[in-house]
Amino acid sequence: MAVEVKVATFRDIFQYEAGRKGMHSDEYLQLSAQILMDKEDMASLGVKDGGRVLAENEVGRVVLVARASGDKAHPGVAFMIESPWSHQLEDDEPCKHGALGFRGISATVTPSQDNVTELAEIVQRLKE
Amino acid sequence: MTDYNYKSCTGCALICEDILYSDKEAVTQARNICRKGQAHYQSLFAERTKPMIEGREASLDQAIARAAEILKGAKSPLIYGWSNSSSEAQAVGMDLAERIGAAVDDPSTYCEGLFMEMVLKGEVPSCTLDDVRNYADTSIFWGSDPSSSQPRHLSRFSYFPRGEKRQKSYEEERTCIVVDVRESPTARLCPNTTYRVGPGEDVQFLEAILNVLEGKIPKFGDKKKMIELGSVLKKTEYGVIFPGRGIFPSLQDKMELFSDLMARLNEVSTFKAIPVAGGFNTRGFNQLLLDRTGYVKSVSFQQDNGKIIHRPEDSLAGAAKRADALLAFGSDPLAELPVGVARALAKVPMVVIDSCRSITSDEARVVIPSAISGLEAGGTAIRTDGMKVSLEPFMKTDRLAEKQILTRIMEAM
């Protein structure tokens, strides 16, 4: 079972607030390490709201908590709050103007039994 | 009775100047502050940085001396951050970049930077937020969500206030339009004038607007709704587009389409653009870089002579991957950059000037604690619409301002 999604990232005031208090807090982890998905996509994966999924592409991989987005139907599109977790899936190809081009994220999402990727693990990966 | 003083908030690029703090040794009350401003204020009580070298506490003098040593010895240093620092700190930082031959870049390079460049170079018409409050009858939030990123945008300027020519405001005279990939908090305010586009579909949406303005049937989206949008735009007296980060993935290689749209809209009415900047002084940095170098992105200075270099390989990704040292201030690059760039930076000696603990400060070779701009350190900044704002500190601290730290690093060289 797998779903191919395009992931759009966004900023969230509550996650910003949690980050200002401390990026190592549980609150920041909970708000950042999640992917908001279409209900039908979650159903096709057999994942319930709050279940864990692996999102991966050629850039990286992270285990996240899947949440139903609450938006109108958006099959094949998922949302993540911009964070070190979303950046694990983002490429860094510059656009023709020289700006760092977030060309959008494409990822494969599958159910996972692994623990949600911790911030410490992400930092460790950066040093490898 | 509590006495209040007006202060500016550096929580976002609106830099609200109407924040009332109780005028006491310790602030006990604040009025008019938004949730984001309050979160920024809470930074005062977050885990604050201490001078560190190689993970061990050091004196401030030792940290500054070590930072100077690292930066002086680097052959391809990168200075990244800038956008949450005062204009005065940015100016000294630019002197330092010139002196050590550094590449420079800020977070707007992957957000609204290209839109800001168009505005700063006069390629698209712009206006102030006060003009928006007084005259705008149509505000288009395209790939931006001010309810999250600039929380008082709608209440102070673009939707709710009764401006000089907009006394009937949102009830009758103002239309709020949202173009977004998701149902953002701002979109929920105007469900009937929200246009959902898929990732990467903004170009088709833009072309559909051009079609309806020409009286043609649009090839994208709900045709009826697109034609309705065309009518709103044609009837607009004073429209403003607020492009944000969300539009960037679609338009980054086709920015000329945005100026084409602005030109076409200005044939039928008056339309302006104000990018929704991320850091409180993003525009200040963009303006400074343009003034000093003639460019807004992909700039580095040549070692020995400070000559300006502007090449595609001087983009942030290129500069980060060839960097042999990093100076970060007003930012947390390991937390906010794509993994490839962050990984490259994590492998080089990093000097971090920051007020609070961050992911980058945890991994830095040298950490230099700083005062928080606007709360503990003064100066000036440029609001997202280009207005210069004075920052007056209201919290006492023995921490140095970023400007002082950068000056001392240069002196130590």
Interface of B with A in 79-118 (CB under 8 A): 109-110, 113-114
Mean pLDDT across the stretch B77-83?
Answer: 95
A1 CA to chain B: closest CA distance, Å? Answer: 23
Backbone angles phi, psi at B87, to 5 degrees: -60, -35
Residue with tokens 């940015």: B90
- Run of H or E residues at B176: strand B175-180
Is the pLDDT at B1 greater than 60, yes or no?
no
Choose from A92, A105, A123, A127 for mutation: most chain B CBs within 10 A.
A92
For residues B236 and B311, the model is more confident at B236
In B136-201, alpha helices (H): 146-149, 153
The alpha carbon of residue B122 and the mean position of all alpha carbons in its chain are separated, in whole angstroms, by 19
- With CB atoms and an 8 Å threshold, state whether A8 touches B182: yes
Cα nearest neighbour of B345 on chain A: A126
In a domain, B4, yes or no: no
Interface of B with A in 204-233 (CB under 8 A): none
pLDDT for position B10? 95
Domain of B192 in residue numbering reads as: 113-273
pLDDT for position B403? 97
Least confident piece of the model among A47-61, B23-37, B185-199? B23-37
pLDDT for position B294? 92
Q: B226 and B369: one domain?
A: no
- Residue-wise pLDDT tens digits, B122-149: 999 999 999 999 999 999 999 999 999 9
At B149, which CATH number? 3.40.228.10
Interface of B with A in 128-147 (CB under 8 A): 145, 147
In B246-312, alpha helices (H): 248-251, 255-268, 282-293
pLDDT for position B255? 84
- Residue-wise pLDDT tens digits, B180-209: 999 999 999 999 999 999 988 999 999 999
CB contacts, 8 Å: A101 with chain B:
110, 249, 252-253
DSSP structural state of residue B273: E
| Domain's final residue, options B238, B253, B273 | B273
Q: B167 and B304: one domain?
A: no
B202 CA to chain A: closest CA distance, Å? Answer: 12
At B287, which CATH number? 3.40.50.1220
Q: B101 and B225: one domain?
A: no
Is the pLDDT at A2 greater than 80, yes or no?
yes
Mean pLDDT across the stretch B388-396?
Answer: 90
pLDDT for position A98? 61
Residue B30 pLDDT grade (very low, low, confident, very high; cuts 50, 70, 90): confident
Q: B247 and B164: one domain?
A: yes
Distance CA A120, CA A122 (A): 5
Distance CA B308, CA B312 (A): 13
Would an 8 Å CB–CB cutoff place B152 in contact with chain A? no
pLDDT for position B6? 78
**Which is nearest to B344 in space by CA: B359, B314, B322, B360?**
B322
Q: Could you say which of A23, A91, A102 has the minimum Cβ distance to residue B359? A: A23
pLDDT for position A102? 64
Distance CA B78, CA B318 (A): 10
Domains held by chain B: number: 2
pLDDT for position B362? 95
The model's pTM is 0.94
CB contacts, 8 Å: B253 with chain A:
95-97, 101
- Residue-wise pLDDT tens digits, B246-262: 887 777 778 889 999 99
Q: B149 and B225: one domain?
A: yes
pLDDT for position B286? 94
Q: Beta partners for B352?
A: B328, B367
Contact B10, B384 (CB under 8 A): no
Contact B193, B176 (CB under 8 A): yes
Residue with tokens 């031959």: B101
In a domain, B36, yes or no: no
Is the pLDDT at A5 greater than 80, yes or no?
yes
**Which is nearest to B237 in space by CA: B135, B389, B131?**
B135
Q: B120 and B211: one domain?
A: yes
pLDDT for position A97? 64
Q: B246 and B120: one domain?
A: yes
Distance CA B45, CA B385 (A): 30
Domain of A74 in residue numbering reads as: 3-127
In a domain, B393, yes or no: no
Cα nearest neighbour of B349 on chain A: A127
Residue B2 pLDDT grade (very low, low, confident, very high; cuts 50, 70, 90): low
Domains held by chain A: number: 1
Q: B74 and B223: one domain?
A: no
At A25, which CATH number? 2.40.40.20
Looking at this predicted complex, what is its ipTM?
A: 0.94
In a domain, B404, yes or no: yes
Q: B182 and B58: one domain?
A: no
Q: B144 and B91: one domain?
A: no
Q: Could you say which of B36, B47, B357 has the minimum Cβ distance to residue A13? A: B36
CB contacts, 8 Å: A35 with chain B:
none
Q: B167 and B257: one domain?
A: yes
Mean pLDDT across the stretch B309-329?
Answer: 88
A49 CA to chain B: closest CA distance, Å? Answer: 19
Task: Please give the structure tokens belonging to residue A55.
Answer: 């999102």
Choose from A97, A117, A122, A123 for mutation: most chain B CBs within 10 A.
A97
- With CB atoms and an 8 Å threshold, state whether B297 touches A97: yes
CB contacts, 8 Å: B297 with chain A:
97-99
Cα nearest neighbour of A10 on chain B: B246
- Residue-wise pLDDT tens digits, A96-106: 666 665 667 89
pLDDT for position B340? 92
| Domain's final residue, options B273, B290, B314 | B273
In a domain, B2, yes or no: no
| Domain's final residue, options B273, B289, B318 | B273
Residue B310 pLDDT grade (very low, low, confident, very high; cuts 50, 70, 90): confident
Mean pLDDT, all residues of chain B: 92
- With CB atoms and an 8 Å threshold, state whether A8 touches B147: no
Is the pLDDT at B43 greater than 70, yes or no?
yes
Is the pLDDT at B25 greater than 70, yes or no?
no
Interface of B with A in 185-204 (CB under 8 A): 185, 196, 198-200
